[in-house]
A and B are shown apart, each in its own frame.
Chain A
Amino acid sequence: QITLKESGPTLVKPTQTLTLTCTFSGFSLSTTGVSVGWIRQPPGKALEWLALIYWDDDKRYSPSLKSRLTITKDTSKNQVVLTMTNMDPVDTGTYYCAHIRLERFWIVDYFHPWGQGIVVTVSS
């Protein structure tokens, strides 16, 4: 059974850097054909994909946020870390990590399962 859980600060100040950790079980990111992604959701709004990391350490980012995002993995700890710099109140929302099922080792088939999410508020 695959599970994921997000952790990190729930309140950050504008201009600060947010660091979120996704701790997972039931799979290994050292296994070929595995990926984990981050998605966020502003209050009352739609989902927005942020980034994903592949088992081979290849990474993909949302172009609109690429300059502010870094995704890394720690295979030994079964963790994926997302950092987002220069936080702004518009970045307030729930941040989710999810396991990604890949087709042919690199095509994103679907997100499943999702973590419970962590609510992050950006305010001074």
Chain B
Amino acid sequence: DIVMTQTPLSSPVTLGQPASISCRSSQSLVHSDGNTYLSWLQQRPGQPPRLLIYKISNRFSGVPDRFSGSGAGTDFTLKISRVEAEDVGVYYCVQGTQFPLTFGGGTKVEIK
């Protein structure tokens, strides 16, 4: 199984300041078709997860442009350029390259 490791576990951020979350996979997520199936989800308190980013860096429809994804191979990053109050929640990376599908352990973004 591909293990997805997220850091940090928690990220206290001042409103308006940036936040960065790392996701590292135990194996390369590059599929034989050349794509990398790494996506990011946001889960606000009491809500189901919501898709933010897919294929490393593609922002999903309706997602604010302060969210961006980057990385390659085994190292990936989600960045929030200026954290807003509505960004509080837990963020997960998930890989679809290989079965079984696996999620990271989650990173909690909270306001200082």
Q: How far is the CA of A47 from the CA of B103 in the complex (A)?
A: 6
| Chain B: interface size category | 20 to 34
Residues of chain B with a CB closer than 8 A to A101's CB: 54
Q: Is the CB of B48 within 8 A of A48?
A: no
Residues of chain A with a CB closer than 8 A to B48's CB: 96, 114-117
Interface string of B84-102 (1 = CB under 8 A from A): 0000000010101101111
**B33 contacts chain A at the CB level, 8 A cutoff:** yes
**Interface class of chain B by DSSP:** loop
**B35 contacts chain A at the CB level, 8 A cutoff:** yes
Total residue contacts A-B, CB cutoff 8 A: 71
Out of B50, B101, B104, B106, name the residue touching A108 (CB < 8 Å). B101
**A107 contacts chain B at the CB level, 8 A cutoff:** yes
Number of residues in A with C-beta < 8 Å to the partner? 27
Q: How far is the CA of A109 from the CA of B94 in the complex (A)?
A: 10
Q: Is the CB of A110 within 8 A of B51?
A: yes
9 contacts between A and B (CB under 8 A): A49-B100, A49-B103, A96-B48, A107-B33, A107-B97, A109-B96, A111-B51, A112-B60, A114-B50
Given A110-B51, A110-B96, A112-B51, 19 other A-B residues pairs in contact with their CB atoms under 8 A: A46-B106, A47-B49, A52-B101, A61-B100, A62-B100, A63-B100, A96-B48, A96-B49, A107-B35, A107-B37, A107-B96, A107-B97, A109-B39, A109-B55, A110-B37, A110-B39, A110-B54, A111-B39, A111-B51
- B residues engaging A (CB < 8 A)? 1, 31, 33, 35, 37, 39, 41, 48-51, 54-55, 60, 92, 94, 96-97, 99-106
